[in-house]
Amino acid sequence: MRIRVEFFGIPRLRAGVAEHTVQVPDESTIASVYESLAKELPPFAAACLTGDALQPGYIASVNGNRFVQGTQETITEADTIQILSADVGG
């Protein structure tokens, strides 16, 4: 399935794009998205990821209505993931 990822703030600067689409297996977790991003956007991965998780100081939101702390959140093809600095907006 294809998942759209939007970047804000420092993650956008490191990714070099405002959004990117990754291909992950069906019935994936957000960890699969991070793994795909690490392969496809190495500068983003170096600055914002540790393995299959976001580094401290960064946070993800699913569809703009719930924040995700861990990596086991199940995602669907209808989901959009936003990645931002944890201090954005405040």
For 36, the enclosing helix (H) or strand (E) is: helix 30-40
Instruction: Tell me the three state secondary structure of residue 70.
Output: coil
pLDDT given for residue 52 in this prediction:
87
Q: CA gyration radius for the chain?
A: 12
- Whether 89 shows a pLDDT value over 60: the answer reads no
pLDDT in tens, 51-65: 889 999 999 999 999
Q: How far apart are CA 6 and CA 45, in angstroms?
A: 14
Query: pLDDT-derived band of residue 9, with 50, 70 and 90 as boundaries?
Result: very high
For residues 38-49, one letter each, b for 16 or more C-beta atoms within 10 angstroms of the residue's C-beta and e for the rest, the string is: beebeebbeebb
pLDDT in tens, 14-51: 999 999 999 999 999 999 999 999 999 999 999 999 98
Q: How far apart are CA 77 and CA 45, in angstroms?
A: 22
